[in-house]
Structure formats: C-alpha cells, structure tokens
Amino acid sequence: IDLDRFKMINDSYGHFVGDELLSQIAIRLKKNLRSVDIVGRLSGDEFAIILPKCNHQQAQLMIEELQIHLAEPININHSILKMSASIGVAMFPTDGRDIETLLHRADIAMDQAKNNGRSQFCFFSHEMNELLQSHLKLENDLRHALLNHQLHLHYQPQIDLVTGSLYGVEALARWTHPEFGEISPERFIPIAEECGLITEFGYWVLQESCRQLADWRAQGINIPSISVNLSPTSFHCVRLPSTILDILNLHHLKPQELTIELTESVLLDNHPCTMKILHEIHALGVHLSMDDFGTGYSSLSMLRKLPIDELKIDKSFVDEICSDEASAKMVQNIIAIGKNFDMHILAEGVETKEQEAILKRFGCDRFQGYLYTKPLAYDALKEF
C-alpha cells in the first residue's frame, strides 16, 4: 500500500504533518483488519498487510472497504487532508511461496496500480511481470545505445505555405534495436524520461542535429534551419543556454538557424529556473516553438509571458479540419491567437491538398506532413 502524493504533502506542510498523517493512516489500516491479519510499515509512506486464509474475492472486498476509509478527510493542525492509496496484491501460493517473492510481486502490482491512476488497486499477473522485465531490458538497451552512438535521426521537412519552399527540418530520434528492430519513439522517449536519460538524450539530439546541419552546409545543400525537441526537465539546467551556444559555435552555426521545440507541459513546470532559461535561450537568437499547441494546458496569460516565436497546431486538429466544424474553428482560433502575438504558425500532420488549402485560407504560414514527404533519413533528405 503506497500513499498517493505523500511527498507533496510532506514538502508543503512539513515533516511534522507528514509524520502525524502516517500515524493516522496506520490507525485506519489497523481498524479495518481481522484479529489474524498483520499490518506493518515497510518504509516512508509504504505499508504492507498480510491477510491469512483470504481468497481473491475476499481480498478485493477488503481493499474496496479500506480505500473508502482511507479517503475520509484527516484534520491535522487545522489542515484538512484527503488521501488515497495505490494498492498491489500478490496471492499465495500462485504468485509466490516465500515472503520476499510475494512482497516483490505485490510491489510490481502496486506500481501498475499507480500507473493506472490514483486510488487504484491491482492484482499481480505473470504477464505484468513479463512486461516489467521487457521494460527493464529496453531501459538498459537504450542506455547502451545512447552511450555507444547507436541512435540516429530522421528529418521531417517543413514547408513555407506561401512560397512552397523548404524553410527547415525537424530532427526526430530513431532507434533500430539489434534484437527487436525499429522501436517507436512513443515507446522509448517515455522510457528515457522514467530512467533519467531524457536530458542527456536531448543534448545528443542537439549535438547530432547541429553537426548534421553543418555537414549539409559544407556540401552546399541549403537547409535554412533545424528544429529539436527538448523535454521540460532539460530547462531545469542552468547550463543549457551556454551548452546550446557552445554547440552552435562548434559547428559555425548562427543561433537563428536553430529552433527549440517545447510542449505545453512546460507551462505547468514550477521549477524556478525554467522561465529564466527560456528567456536566456531566446536572447541568444535561438527560436522557440510551442509543439502540439491546443492539446495541453496553455493559458493566454502564460503564453504572453513566454518568448515563443512559433505555434505548432497539433495533428489531431488538422486530421479533422475538413470534416469537423469545431476542429476547423479551433485551428482558425489558434492561428488568430498566434498572429496577435506576432508568432509564426505551423500545422503538423498535413496529408491532403484539401487540408493545405484550408490552412492557407486561414492564414497558416508553414506546415509539415506526408503531403510532401514522411520523415527522411540523411541520404533520402539529400535526394529530397
């Protein structure tokens, strides 16, 4: 049993409140148990309960009752706290015959419950264990691939809607696993975030994309600029602006030839350095682009404070622009907002001439998508 958001309460109210909260939770856990049951605190905000002679259905009923009691408000120092818990269950003997195995597998199930959302419970399954082992293998392999330069980039051309000419490319990470083949970025990027590799990963993309742009220049291939996606956690590092400048200088590139893309989740980031670093990067002359705009948590007041040069309309709106009036109006409004803030507007995922015509009519500046080409490897982009 792991309490949800306990660290936030500890940080916000202090350790005295955190300790008192753990004591109150322990009392509630004991109240709901039979005389033969055992409850203990393992560490931090993690508890364990042993229910002898309890089948699957009985365990589920007890957990549901326990969650109701845990959710009742707790008054500590005139602060009303409402808690929930993520609970994982392992059954003897099907899930293990010794306490270490059972605890480990209950812990795996508890992590799965947390991933499913707060106040959830989950029974262990062997498929769950196999998924975890597969996940850990990919995590180790990704770490090895990053250290040994086994990742590569593809490039999505970005087209000026008015002139029809290429104005830039977006760098997209690709991973060809020696055993599993192509691993989707939707799979390996979250793994990089979970295991703390995402900042190092972002630096690699920055370095490699700038090296590649300089290489094209040396061959006389005119690619005006390159866009790179960075995780919100990358903007916690005070050295990021100087690192970007060092990379640009190393490859004899101008700051305006690089665009850094960030997602709307950066607007929810309370880290004290984030806003300062964004402004420092922009002051270098590097362009900033808001990726997947309209799908997250943007507010106009926050958008006004950010030094954004470009808004990227998410593909989900572009997909429906021809058939859904609400999506068309959303795109029109995003373009109007961007224009009012003197930003360029780029539409992602453009696949048809009809979509292109509507975007042009609405005043969109730029687009990328399969209408012109899918993301291209180095040699294929040279041909393009």
Q: What is the mean pLDDT of residues 267-292?
A: 88
What percent of the chain shows pLDDT beyond 90? 63
* 254 conformational bin, left if phi > 0, alpha if psi -120 to 50, beta if neither: beta
Which band of pLDDT confidence, cut at 50, 70 and 90, is reported for residue 167? very high
Q: Does the pLDDT value for residue 268 go beyond 80?
A: no
Give the residue with greater pLDDT, 302 vs 289. Answer: 289
pLDDT at 298: 57
pLDDT at 3: 94
Mean pLDDT of the chain: 90
Which band of pLDDT confidence, cut at 50, 70 and 90, is reported for residue 299? low
pLDDT at 149: 81
Which residues, listed in sequence order, are joined to residue 152 by a DSSP beta bridge? 174
pLDDT at 297: 57
Task: Note the pLDDT tens digit of each residue in 106-118.
Answer: 999 998 898 888 7
pLDDT at 304: 77
Least confident of 176-185, 221-230, 250-259, 351-360: 176-185
Task: Note the pLDDT tens digit of each residue in 70-111.
Answer: 999 999 988 889 899 999 999 999 999 999 999 999 999 998
Q: Is the dihedral of CA 354, 358, 363, 366 positive or negative?
A: negative
The model carries a pTM of 0.72
Q: Does the pLDDT value for residue 1 go beyond 80?
A: yes
Q: Does the pLDDT value for residue 15 go beyond 80?
A: yes
Q: Does the pLDDT value for residue 318 go beyond 90?
A: yes
Q: What is the mean pLDDT of residues 261-269?
A: 79
SS3 readout for the chain: CEECCHHHHHHHHCHHHHHHHHHHHHHHHHHCCCCCCEEEEEECCEEEEECCCCCHHHHHHHHHHHHHHHCCCEEECCEEECCCEEEEECCCCCCCCCHHHHHHHHHHHHHHHHHCCCCCEEECCHHHHHHHHHHHHHHHHHHHHHHCCCEEEEEEEEEECCCCCEEEEEEEEEEEECCCEEECHHHHHHHHHHCCCHHHHHHHHHHHHHHHHHHHHHCCCCCCCEEEECCHHHHHCCCHHHHHHHHHHHCCCCHHHEEEEEEHHHHHCCCCCHHHHHHHHHHHCCEEEEEEECCCCCCHHHHHHCCCCEEEECHHHHHCCCCCHHHHHHHHHHHHHHHHCCCEEEECCCCCHHHHHHHHHHCCCEECCCCCCCCECHHHHHHC
Q: Does the pLDDT value for residue 271 go beyond 60?
A: yes
What's the order of all strands across the beta sheet hosting 85-89? Answer: 38-43, 46-50, 2-3, 85-89, 121-123
Pairing of strands 310-313, 287-293: parallel
pLDDT at 296: 60
